[in-house]
């Protein structure tokens, strides 16, 4: 699909990448030098269109920002990128976002600040949820564009002039969440629109390392390590249930009531395992409570081990379900599965009877814990 920009004076191209430790960059990787021509690309967008560099041939300035869904730094700049697009689109600015990450190369514990990973389908969700008005493109399949530009981290900004020669490369600005003192990308845009040289053409990049495909093996190794962790199951009484509900800790609690005889309960246990591996590096704790009879403790433990539920696992040591409900959550109608998200101090942020929508739970979690450092 050909996208023609009429009366375009300036284009912004953006790419989002993930956070966390990564395997070494490819040995041949070199960041594009100032004065270099913009490498061509042909990438799918979340809007169903395919975009090429030629689609922005009418632009006086082209800005390429590499970014991603899950990176805290990239998320911190989403609003500023949207404002840049809004402020300059009528002056000939086009914004394109490209995610260079291989989603299979992102470990679950690198997703602790997000509700979404870096797959193409999840990019579509993020773009819709946050109302992206610029193209958001996917390069995670072969990462050829990221290699051609020499992407080191997210966000990584590349700004080109009307001839698509690189005039600025580096950070968006000098502050992720604090007061901005140096508006580097915006200053470069203003200079090029005014026909001036960019005063500071290169800056250091701060953010999340690019998740190259070579890191997928490390992600698989991490799964093997987590799968080998011990799984335990302990009894819990009414006083301990009440203490759990009061949550006098500094951790956000994800509490799931389940039973071995409940098919939907067992079926969704892997989703809770995934969430636990995502968020447990933060102030977060997964708690499961089996409502099986105490005589079925070994059966419950067997199911937990099969699903590798490394968490605070309890089995209800009592026979009065009404007292249990009053102690945990008076709004619980009784069926399982039943899931709660409890903030420090005991405030319930989320409750659901029946199988959960994992994305809803993740949004409740990250909505409280925060998306940035």
Q: pLDDT for 108-154, tens place per residue?
A: 999 999 999 999 999 999 999 999 999 999 999 999 999 999 999 99
CA 114 to chain centre: 3
Predicted local distance difference test score (pLDDT) of residue 255: 99
Burial string for 212-226 (b: 16+ CB within 10 Å, else e) reads bbebbeebeeeeeeb
In a domain, 221, yes or no: no
Predicted local distance difference test score (pLDDT) of residue 11: 39
Which residues fall within 8 angstroms of residue 189, CB to CB, at 6 or more apart?
Answer: 10, 12, 61, 63, 84, 88, 93, 159
Predicted local distance difference test score (pLDDT) of residue 4: 32
CA 20 to chain centre: 11
Predicted local distance difference test score (pLDDT) of residue 17: 36
- Contact indicator for 112, 71 with CB cutoff of 8 Å: no
Instruction: Identify the helix (H) or strand (E) that includes residue 236.
Output: strand 234-236
Examine the domain organization and report whether 253 and 194 are in the same domain: no
Predicted local distance difference test score (pLDDT) of residue 27: 87
Examine the domain organization and report whether 56 and 182 are in the same domain: yes
In a domain, 151, yes or no: yes
Backbone φ and ψ of 263, nearest 5°: -55, -50
Distances in Å between the Cα of 104 and the Cα atoms of 24, 149, 152, 216, 293 are: 16, 21, 18, 5, 40
Query: Which residue positions in the chain have pLDDT lower than 50?
Result: 1-23
Examine the domain organization and report whether 236 and 331 are in the same domain: yes
The DSSP annotation for 78-112 comes to HHHHHHHHHHHGGGT--EEEEE---GGGS-GGG-T
- How many distinct structural domains can be found in the chain? 2
In a domain, 222, yes or no: no
In a domain, 199, yes or no: yes
Predicted local distance difference test score (pLDDT) of residue 373: 87
Examine the domain organization and report whether 98 and 192 are in the same domain: yes
Among 168, 185, 216, residue at a domain's last position: 216
CATH number at residue 159: 3.40.30.10
Backbone φ and ψ of 44, nearest 5°: -80, 140
Examine the domain organization and report whether 167 and 277 are in the same domain: no
Instruction: Identify the helix (H) or strand (E) that includes residue 189.
Output: helix 184-193
- Contact indicator for 135, 47 with CB cutoff of 8 Å: yes
Bridge partners of 45? Answer: 137
Predicted local distance difference test score (pLDDT) of residue 10: 37
- Contact indicator for 111, 70 with CB cutoff of 8 Å: yes
Examine the domain organization and report whether 199 and 264 are in the same domain: no
Among 216, 249, 283, residue at a domain's last position: 216
Domain that holds residue 202: 11-216
Examine the domain organization and report whether 178 and 234 are in the same domain: no
In a domain, 223, yes or no: no
In a domain, 3, yes or no: no
Whole-angstrom Cα distance, residue 78 to residue 129?
12
Examine the domain organization and report whether 309 and 241 are in the same domain: yes
- Contact indicator for 127, 118 with CB cutoff of 8 Å: no
In a domain, 373, yes or no: no
Among 160, 183, 216, residue at a domain's last position: 216
């Amino acid at each position: 699909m050909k996208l023609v920009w009429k009366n375009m004076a300036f284009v912004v191209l953006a790419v989002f990448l993930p956070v966390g430790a990564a395997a070494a960059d490819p040995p041949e990787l070199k960041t594009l030098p100032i004065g270099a021509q913009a490498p061509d690309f042909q990438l799918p967008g979340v809007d169903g269109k395919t975009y090429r560099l030629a689609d922005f041939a009418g632009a006086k300035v082209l800005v390429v920002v590499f970014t991603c869904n899950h990176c805290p730094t990239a998320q911190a700049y989403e609003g500023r990128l949207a404002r840049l697009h809004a402020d300059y689109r009528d002056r000939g600015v086009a914004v394109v976002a490209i995610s260079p990450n291989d989603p299979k190369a992102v470990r679950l514990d690198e997703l602790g600040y997000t509700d979404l990973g870096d797959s193409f389908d999840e990019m579509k969700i993020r773009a819709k949820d946050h109302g992206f008005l610029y193209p958001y493109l996917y390069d995670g399949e072969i990462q050829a564009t990221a290699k051609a530009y020499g992407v080191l981290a997210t966000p990584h900004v590349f700004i080109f002039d009307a001839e698509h020669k690189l005039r600025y490369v580096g950070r968006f600005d000098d502050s992720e969440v604090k007061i901005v003192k140096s508006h580097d990308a915006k200053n470069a845009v203003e200079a090029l629109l005014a026909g001036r040289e960019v005063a500071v053409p290169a800056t250091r990049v701060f953010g999340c390392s690019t998740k190259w495909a070579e890191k997928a093996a490390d992600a698989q190794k991490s799964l093997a390590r987590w799968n080998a962790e011990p799984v335990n199951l302990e009894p819990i009484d009414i006083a301990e249930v009440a203490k759990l509900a009061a949550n006098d800790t500094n951790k956000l609690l994800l509490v799931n009531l389940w039973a071995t005889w409940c098919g939907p309960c067992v079926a969704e246990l892997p989703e809770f395992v995934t969430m636990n591996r995502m968020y447990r590096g933060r102030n977060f704790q997964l708690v499961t409570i089996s409502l099986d009879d105490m005589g079925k403790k070994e059966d419950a433990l067997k199911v937990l081990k099969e699903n590798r539920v490394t968490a605070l696992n309890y089995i209800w040591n009592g026979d009065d379900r009404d007292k249990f409900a009053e102690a945990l959550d008076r709004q619980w109608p009784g069926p399982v599965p039943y899931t709660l998200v409890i903030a420090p101090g005991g405030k319930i942020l989320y409750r659901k009877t029946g199988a959960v929508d994992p994305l809803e739970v993740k949004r409740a979690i990250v909505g409280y814990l925060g998306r940035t450092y």
